[in-house]
Each structure stands twice: as structure tokens, then as C-alpha cells.
Amino acid sequence: MSSYIIQGGTKLEGKIKISGSKNASLPILAASILNAGTTKLYNVPNIHDTQKMLEILEFLGCKVKKKENKIIIDSSNIKKHEIPEHLMREMRSSVVLAGSLLGKYKTATFSYPGGCDIGARPIDLHLKSFEKLGININENYGKIECKCDKIVGTKINLDFPSVGATENTILAACLAEGVTTISNAAREPEIIDLQNFLNKMGAKIQGAGTNTIEITGVKQLKNVDYNIMPDRIEAGTFLVAGAATGGNIIIDNISWTCIEPIINKLEEANCKLKIEKNSIELQAPKRLKAVDIKTMPYPGFPTDMQSVFAACMTIAKGTSVIVENIFENRYKYAQELKRMGAKITTEGRTAIIKGTKKLQGATVRATDLRGGAALVIAGMVAHGITEIEEIHYILRGYEKFEQKLSNLGAKIYIK
Ligand code: UD1
């Protein structure tokens, strides 16, 4: 198992380009199943999760060609409609393959997905939507068999605006008979990217980005090429890393509109931000001011930035209160930050962080993707050396992470 070794104490300075979005790429890769021809994708991040998604597509019968961030998928010869358990367990997003398989072949067999351990992650809302679309579901010892003769459009109201359930419902409904309306849909920008991709492929979807999405079923989809949107969580992570290290960085290839809540919190913490059309410059203050955070569905503060922001609050002036409203167990990293001298206590969904002047390098363990990124930030501001074990979690979601940080001046190596 690899570790990161970080020598703390350097300010991040310079410019980096944000990669393609992980959370947009995964459902779009899965959506290629709906197309019986060729899908060409650009700007797909080369990370563990996208590699695993491509492996599953190949297992199902797709032909995949890959050159750096360009992926070509030929899905004209899919023979299998069952995803084996060991592949489902690789990541949470494997579940969106069900919507695509059902949309195209009216059958899909899978098991409960894996992913980062950040609390119970049920898929009841996904299955409820499938049932509403007329799909029969049979669950046997953890194996979920979904089947129907045809999918007929209907009205679906999600109990919670789940990102995955919204995406799965769109995918299952694209080739349905009639119109499907999803109310209380998730509004995340990645859903707009999925809609834009599917529409370019010939689907008829409108409303993504609002809480009502309407999908008018079409008979067939066509060959498509598409450029994946930039990763707003990667952008936020680098901005916070710049802020925590007292740095001055420019992130390129990102629109401020999709990271507005992160920008607002950084400004509240006394950072100066210069916003251009496709880039953002951050100048950190001498010392950050503590601010409070509550995670919410988009356009609220993203849960994926909660741990990352907490890392910079450990050295801020004052006390911050963080409330995690999306996942029930997203504070595992707090224990690790404490080893570095952070004054952080958690109780249920709340964390209280008393800012201290310095952190001390230590050996810590990444507990999940974003918790791992938080430790990297803490390592860069700490005195001395930090070793972060189990970085495979971090590599799930950040492309060339250590390389990009090194380019900004960080002293970070893989051991
Ligand atoms: C997606 C993102 C993830 C992000 C999350 C919330 C991808 C690949 N992942 O995950 O990075 O943290 O959105 O913004 O896009 N829930 C249920 N039943 C369900 C589905 C969800 O109770 O059937 C609950 C979850 O347990 C969680 C909440 O709803 O508490 C939000 O989950 P959801 O929006 O579905 O997140 P994901 O799609 O898994």
C-alpha cells in the first residue's frame, strides 16, 4: 500500500488546470450503454474510479479505447446484463449502470454497490423509481434482479434529491414510452452535464439543474462525442489548499458558478478571490478566520468539501461549527487530524473545531477519498513530516494529485 510523504510548511503558488469531473464522468460512461454505437468522450479524468467503470463496461461487452483523457466506447455488442458482485463493490457509482442496462435491455442484475465508507448508503430511492417505471424487482440474498417488458414514462417524486437516484431514473427513462417527470430531483451541475450529453446523443430531456426534470422517451440514440465538465470538487480542494498554506494560486478551466458556496466561505474566511470567466485566483490572508459550515444538496455547500474545509479550519483564528446533513458518518478523518494536533470534537452530525496556530506532522491514515484530501492539506500546513497511509482512497478521485501539488510548490512524494 502506498503512502504520501509530505514536508509541511510551503505556501502553494502558481497556476493549475482543473481536470474533468469524476462525478460527471461516471454516469456519462455508464450512459454510453444506451447508445448502440460509438461514444467519444474528452476530458475524462484518469483516476481509479473511471478505470473501474471502464473495466465493468468491458466486462459487459463494450469495446473501449483509451488515450490519456480521451475515451472511445463501442457499445454495439453488449451481451451481459449482470454485474458481478466484486465489480459492484469497487465503487458506489456502479449502481448507475443499472439504469442504463434497464433503459436499453429492460433487464439488469446487480448487487449493493461499494464505495467510501461514509455511513449507510442505501439505494431504496433508485429501486423505488425503477418500480414506478414498471420494472419488477426481485431481491435474493443481496442479488437484485430487475426486469420488465417495457418501460413506461410516469411521474416520480423523490423523497430526497439523491444525485444517484436522479441519474438512474433519467437513464432508465431515456428510451421509455412516453414522458417521465422527476420532481424533487437533485440539481447538481453533474446532472446538467448528463442531460447535455444524453441530449447530444439524441435524448429529449429538459429541466436538469432545477428540481423538475422531464424526459420524453425516444426510440433510439446515436453516435456522440462530448467534452466532460471540469471537476468542481477538485477546484474547491485546490482553492482550500491554497488558503490553508497562506498561498496565492490560480485555478484554470473552471466556472465560478458551480463553486459559489465554496467561494463564499473562502471570502468569509478572509481570502481574496479574483474571479474571471474561466479561472479563479485566490490570495490567502495572513491567518484564516474561522467560519461555520452546513452541508446541503446543491446549491448548498457540498458534502464532498466538508472534510477539506475542516482541514483549513484547524489552523484558523476562532471556532468553527460544521454540520454534515447529507451523510451520517463523514467525520472519520477527524480522529486522524487530532493526531496532528487539531482541536476537533465530533458529536453525531456536528464537528466543532477550535483553530490552533500550528499542526504537527504525524503518521496518519486516509479513511476515505475526501477525508484523505483533508489530511494532505493538513500535512502541507503542519510542521515537519507527515506520512499519509492508504492513499488508494485519494487516488480514486484526484488525477495527478501529488504532481499538481508539486507544481504549486508542495513537497509531496509517493512512498
Ligand atoms: C453523489 C456523489 C458524491 C456526493 C453525493 C452527495 C457521485 C459519483 N457521487 O453520491 O460524491 O457526496 O452525491 O452530493 O456523483 N440516499 C438514500 N437512498 C437512496 C439514495 C441516497 O437514502 O436510494 C441518501 C444517502 O444515503 C445520502 C443522501 O441520500 O445520505 C445523498 O445521497 P446521493 O445524493 O444519492 O449521493 P450519491 O449519488 O451516492
Residue 124 in contact with ligand 1 by CB distance below 6 A: yes
Nearest ligand 1 atom, CA 125: 23
When the pLDDT of each residue in the chain is averaged and rounded to a whole number, the result is: 95
pLDDT attached to residue 117: 61
In this prediction, residues 18-28 reach a mean pLDDT of: 97
Contacts of 260 (CB under 8 A, 6+ apart): 299
| pTM to 2 decimal places | 0.96
The verdict on domain 3-18+230-414 having CATH code 3.50.50.60 is no
In the reported structure, the alpha carbon of residue 93 is separated from the centroid of ligand 1 by a whole-number distance in angstroms of: 10
pLDDT attached to residue 166: 98
In this prediction, residues 339-356 reach a mean pLDDT of: 97
Residues with a known catalytic role: 116
In the reported structure, the alpha carbon of residue 357 is separated from the centroid of ligand 1 by a whole-number distance in angstroms of: 35
Q: Which one, of 340, 270, 273, lies nearest residue 311 by Cα?
A: 340
pLDDT attached to residue 120: 61
Residue 305 in contact with ligand 1 by CB distance below 6 A: no
pLDDT attached to residue 1: 75
pLDDT attached to residue 272: 98
The domain limits of the chain are 3-18+230-414, 22-227
Q: 83 or 267: whose pLDDT is higher?
A: 267
**Grid cell of 311 as nine digits:** 482541514
In the reported structure, the alpha carbon of residue 264 is separated from the centroid of ligand 1 by a whole-number distance in angstroms of: 24
Residue 159 in contact with ligand 1 by CB distance below 6 A: no
**24 membership: H or E segment, kind and range:** helix 22-31
Q: Whose CA is nearest to atom 12 of ligand 1?
A: 304
Residue 52 in contact with ligand 1 by CB distance below 6 A: no
Nearest ligand 1 atom, CA 162: 34
In this prediction, residues 314-323 reach a mean pLDDT of: 98
Q: Using the structure block, give the residue that is written with the C-alpha cell 482543473.
A: 18
**By three-state DSSP, how is residue 130 classified?**
helix
pLDDT attached to residue 85: 86
Residue 245 in contact with ligand 1 by CB distance below 6 A: no
In the reported structure, the alpha carbon of residue 187 is separated from the centroid of ligand 1 by a whole-number distance in angstroms of: 12
Residue 326 in contact with ligand 1 by CB distance below 6 A: yes
Q: Using the structure block, give the residue that is written with the C-alpha cell 485546490.
A: 238
Longest dimension (CA), the chain: 64
In the reported structure, the alpha carbon of residue 164 is separated from the centroid of ligand 1 by a whole-number distance in angstroms of: 6
Residue 402 in contact with ligand 1 by CB distance below 6 A: no
pLDDT band at 255 (very low <50, low <70, confident <90, very high): confident
Q: What is the pLDDT of residues 162-186, one digit of tens each?
A: 999 999 999 999 999 999 999 999 9
Residue 93 in contact with ligand 1 by CB distance below 6 A: yes
**Grid cell of 55 as nine digits:** 473495466
Residue 98 in contact with ligand 1 by CB distance below 6 A: no
pLDDT surpasses 60 at 33:
yes
Q: Whose CA is nearest to atom 34 of ligand 1?
A: 162
Q: Whose CA is nearest to atom 25 of ligand 1?
A: 121
pLDDT band at 292 (very low <50, low <70, confident <90, very high): very high
Percent of the chain past pLDDT 90, that is, above it, reads 89
Q: What is the pLDDT of residues 80-136, one digit of tens each?
A: 999 988 888 877 788 999 999 999 999 999 988 765 565 567 899 999 999 999 999
In this prediction, residues 152-157 reach a mean pLDDT of: 97
Q: Whose CA is nearest to atom 1 of ligand 1?
A: 163
In the reported structure, the alpha carbon of residue 243 is separated from the centroid of ligand 1 by a whole-number distance in angstroms of: 28
Q: How far is CA 173 from CA 48, 103, 214, 302, 310, in A?
A: 29, 6, 10, 27, 39
Secondary-structure class of domain 22-227 per CATH: alpha beta
Residue 162 in contact with ligand 1 by CB distance below 6 A: yes
Alpha-helical segments (H) within 34-77:
48-60
pLDDT attached to residue 400: 96
Q: What is the pLDDT of residues 362-397, one digit of tens each?
A: 999 999 999 999 999 999 999 999 999 999 999 999
Q: Whose CA is nearest to atom 28 of ligand 1?
A: 326
In the reported structure, the alpha carbon of residue 305 is separated from the centroid of ligand 1 by a whole-number distance in angstroms of: 14
pLDDT band at 217 (very low <50, low <70, confident <90, very high): very high
